[in-house]
Amino acid sequence: MPITSTYSASVSPLFRVLTTSQIEEIVLAAQEVLERTGVTVHDEEARDILAKAGCWVEGILVRIPSAVVRRALQSVPNSVTFCNSRTGSRDVLLEGYNAYFGTGSDTPFTIDPYSGERTCSTTESVERACKVIDALPNLDFVMSLGIVQDIAALVFDRHQFEAQILNTSKPIVTTAHDIHGFADIEYGSTSSLEFLTINNDVIGMARRLMCGIGVSNETLALDVIDSVGPGGDLLSEPHTLKHFKTETHFPDLIDSQRYEAWQAAGSKTLFERANEKVRSIIETYEVDPLPQDVVQGVREVVERAHEALA
């Protein structure tokens, strides 16, 4: 019997759009823009901070020397961790080649999952979106997926945060500007919970692909192949039944039935199945609750913002 190693490994594909030298060239070009062209900074306090750091300030125009940029980059931590707001689990580790998926933010419009109409984003639509995101296993973090427009502009952000934190336990991420997310359509101006739910399946397939394929004595199964022999039935072997669920990805919405079976099941389109899932989540899914004192604290922040506005 041959002596074999117990070492088992799988290789994941690595997708790169830019070479290392191209990345360096882009960084140097960005530093040139910051130092020569500069940026406009409208906040006076921010301009004072930048001036003290060594930037050149002329009115609202700020030029940032490359030395200041390098110092700032050296102060950046090697990793950033985002945690689940209910359990405290370290769910998103921004380091190395880790990849995470979430939605975009601040779409002014949304597709109502009940009427199918394109409507303005509201507090309720953000609440619904966060609930759906919380229920989808392949989405790791949450963004608002809508600009709350049924609230005064100067305080809408407080309501937006309240809608998020009460309806998801996943890490909430904010950004100054987001171009596209996994639920955005119409050039990123409209959100669709059906599109988001379909993409949850796509992400699941991509993640299975990135896991690679393990090669070992167990997975090669030479003894099983030999015992079955040419023309034998490997599908009914215990070895196959043991491994096929972990080696095969089973999407939730994407239907791989034969055409006749799909017809017999009602001929539902992918979008129709996604809409059913979205509505089921909205109506039946329960988000893990926050402690009542935290809920009250968030509500007080919202109320103080309204009092200041008045």
How do the domains of the chain map onto residue ranges? 21-74, 80-205+290-309, 225-284
The 3-state secondary structure of 160-172 reads HHHHHHCCCCCCE
- Answer whether residue 12 shows pLDDT above 70: no
Q: What single-letter DSSP state applies at residue 248?
A: S
Cα–Cα distance measured from residue 278 to residue 280, given in angstroms and rounded to the nearest whole number: 5
Hey, CA dihedral for 214, 97, 93, 185, is it positive or negative? negative
**Token pair 């100067």 in the structure block, residue:** 154
What are the tens digits of pLDDT across the range 244-266?
Answer: 888 888 888 988 889 999 999 89
Give 248 or 284, the one with higher predicted confidence. Answer: 284
Determine the 3-state secondary structure of 142 from DSSP. Answer: strand
What does the pLDDT read at residue 55? 97
- Answer whether residue 2 shows pLDDT above 50: no
What are the tens digits of pLDDT across the range 196-244?
Answer: 999 999 999 988 888 888 888 998 999 999 999 999 999 999 999 998 8
The model's pTM: 0.80
What does the pLDDT read at residue 114? 96
268-275 contacts at long range (C-beta below 8 A, 24 or more positions apart): 270/198, 271/194, 271/198, 274/194, 274/195, 274/197, 274/198, 275/113, 275/194
What are the tens digits of pLDDT across the range 119-140?
Answer: 999 999 999 999 999 999 999 9
- Answer whether residue 178 shows pLDDT above 70: no
**Which helix H or strand E contains 40, and what residues bound it?**
strand 39-40
**Token pair 């750091």 in the structure block, residue:** 53
- Answer whether residue 172 shows pLDDT above 50: yes
For every residue of 109-124, DSSP letters joined together read EEE-TTT--EEE--HH
For every residue of 59-101, DSSP letters joined together read TTEEE--HHHHHHHHHTS-S-EEEE-TTT--EEEEE-TT----
What does the pLDDT read at residue 286? 95
Q: What is the overall mean pLDDT for the chain?
A: 89
